[in-house]
Structure 1
Amino acid sequence: MSRNALRGIGGILFDKDGTLIRYDESWAPVNREAARLAAAGNANLETKLLVAAGMDPISGHTHADSLYAAGNAAEIAAGFIAAGSPLTVEDLTSRLDALFVQATEYAVPVTDLRSLFSRLKARGLKLGIASSDNELSIRQTARRFKIDRYVDFVAGYDSGFGIKPEPGMVLGFCAAVGLEPGSIAMVGDNKHDLAMGANAGVSASIGVLTGTGTRDTLAPLADLCLDSIASLEELLLCDEKIG
């Protein structure tokens, strides 16, 4: 797809982690705490759980499309239990959801989100956030970075729209803002974000490199890969010049 990938779109649906906020910087301490909770005091198991979820225990880097990178709290809990956690799925899911809500304090934005979202909104675009995190965590992140007033739609794995890569979150966004899938762009840092967009029939699936995904992992599904969401405005300017 050409640099005018956003030409004619009416809305943008963003993933949260790795897209609005930098993944490793934001989630490394949270992921360590998640493994500690799941290990229930067993230090050796804690390390095993980190590896099973896709995080390097030494560097803190999380691998693309791993359980940590792409899973929701329930999926991560199930993965931990399969790797040896003695807790129940229900208990661990509840604990992880609570932890992930608290994690907003660790979030490191990829850019000045308030300024970016205000400018995108001023262009008349509808804006949404769709994440594998829980809805409360997403809303708290939006409030922390003062973008909640610009966001028209929020969906987490527990919001009733299904989970990624199913198309439900995209279709929910479209229904909420009165747009067709063919007039929106999906932006994310992992395959399941872009696959969700493709499954819903969006106009453009755009990968960003501020999360766990790489150009190699995103290229098969991305119409375009950007260094970060800050480059979206460059595409919109290209659209204006072409138009």
Structure 2
Amino acid sequence: MIKAPHPIPITGILFDKDGTLLDYAKSWVPVNYEIARIASRDDADLGATLLRATGMDPETGVVTADSLLAAGNTVEIAEGMVEAGAAWTREALTSALDELFSRSAAYAVPVTDLAALFATLRARGYKLGVASSDNEASIRRTAERFGFADCLDYVAGYDSGYGVKPEPGMVYGFCAATGLIPDEVVVVGDNNHDMHMGRSAGAGLTVAVLTGTGSRQSLAAASDHCLADITELLALLDRHPPAEAGEGEPLNEAAV
């Protein structure tokens, strides 16, 4: 991809979905229990083992940052559960989980009024996209349910043909769809797969949010900024356009 010689203003925003647009704990912890039920074929002890193996404490519901359940795509989650003892083939469990994830969009809990936020961003002239480790159908159902589908220039799931996180392909796909270069793009996400995707693509900014499974500490190294949630994004873009950073200086406020 073309790389600008110096920082330029952000004109495109590529969002992660789960833990970023959607509150992870409210939206996905119940789904994770259902994943374990399906994968274990209703064996409660095996289900608990599968949850632990893929990153969730079955007693507390706490999900470890950057674990399979926090950041993996459906194939990776299925593979991890099969390796931990689920009596499925990877392909069959992947199909079953993709179907579950698509249904789960109906029960997701948004971080904020997503229709209003996306409409505001669109009115300000930003190109907008969603890149998720979920399947594309689930992303589109979520966008339709919360009223921002018409604001999107780009949608990419793990099955959309752009590669998977933390590879840079989803960012490159966004650039191809919008005519932008990576310097003009901010990648917004809740885990290091998102941040590393943005960094590897040469995105202008990587912005972490704390509505997923990550913490300021776990996200500090790979993020330029760490926000409480996406409602702080507009103020960040207003206060800190990339052009304000000194050439060659890192712009990292993750500890703020």
**TM-score using structure 2 length:** 0.90
Could you say which residue in structure 2 is the equivalent of 1:76?
Answer: 77
Which residues in structure 2 correspond to 1:161-180 (within 5 Å)? 161-180=162-181
The one-letter amino acid paired with 1:50 is: L
- Contact kept, 8 Å, 1:7 with 1:236, in 2: the verdict is no
The one-letter amino acid paired with 1:144 is: R
- Contact kept, 8 Å, 1:7 with 1:239, in 2: the verdict is no
3-state SS of the aligned residue for 2:88?
A: coil
Q: Which 10-residue stretch deviates more, 135-144 or 228-237?
A: 228-237
Q: Alpha-carbon deviations, 1:205-232, whole Å to 9, x = none? A: 0000000010011000000000001001
Q: For residues 68 and 119 of structure 1, what CA distance do their matches in structure 2 show?
A: 31
Which residues in structure 2 correspond to 1:87-166 (within 5 Å)? 87-166=88-167
Q: For residues 171 and 18 of structure 2, what CA distance do their matches in structure 1 show?
A: 17
**Structure 1 residue 237 displacement after superposition:** 3.0
Listed as ranges, the gaps of 5+ residues in structure 2 are 1-6, 245-256
Could you say which residue in structure 2 is the equivalent of 1:3?
Answer: none
The one-letter amino acid paired with 2:118 is: F
**Does 1:193 pair with 2:200?**
no
Could you say which residue in structure 1 is the equivalent of 2:59?
Answer: 58
3-state SS of the aligned residue for 2:129?
A: strand
**Structure 1 residue 41 displacement after superposition:** 2.6
**Structure 1 residue 46 displacement after superposition:** 0.5
Could you say which residue in structure 2 is the equivalent of 1:11?
Answer: 12
Could you say which residue in structure 2 is the equivalent of 1:25?
Answer: 26
3-state SS of the aligned residue for 2:206?
A: strand
3-state SS of the aligned residue for 1:87?
A: coil
**Structure 1 residue 195 displacement after superposition:** 0.1
Q: For residues 222 and 23 of structure 2, what CA distance do their matches in structure 1 show?
A: 21
Q: For residues 43 and 33 of structure 2, what CA distance do their matches in structure 1 show?
A: 13
- Contact kept, 8 Å, 1:128 with 1:154, in 2: the verdict is yes
- Contact kept, 8 Å, 1:22 with 1:210, in 2: the verdict is yes
**Structure 1 residue 40 displacement after superposition:** 1.3
Could you say what the CA RMSD is over the residues aligned between the two structures, in angstroms?
A: 1.5
Q: For residues 236 and 71 of structure 1, what CA distance do their matches in structure 2 show?
A: 29
Q: Alpha-carbon deviations, 1:31-84, whole Å to 9, x = none? A: 101111110132110110111111111221211101101111111110001000
Q: For residues 223 and 83 of structure 1, what CA distance do their matches in structure 2 show?
A: 36
Q: For residues 199 and 19 of structure 2, what CA distance do their matches in structure 1 show?
A: 19
| Poorly superposed stretches of 4+, deviation over 4 Å | none
**TM-score using structure 1 length:** 0.95
Q: For residues 238 and 221 of structure 2, what CA distance do their matches in structure 1 show?
A: 26
Listed as ranges, the gaps of 5+ residues in structure 1 are 1-5
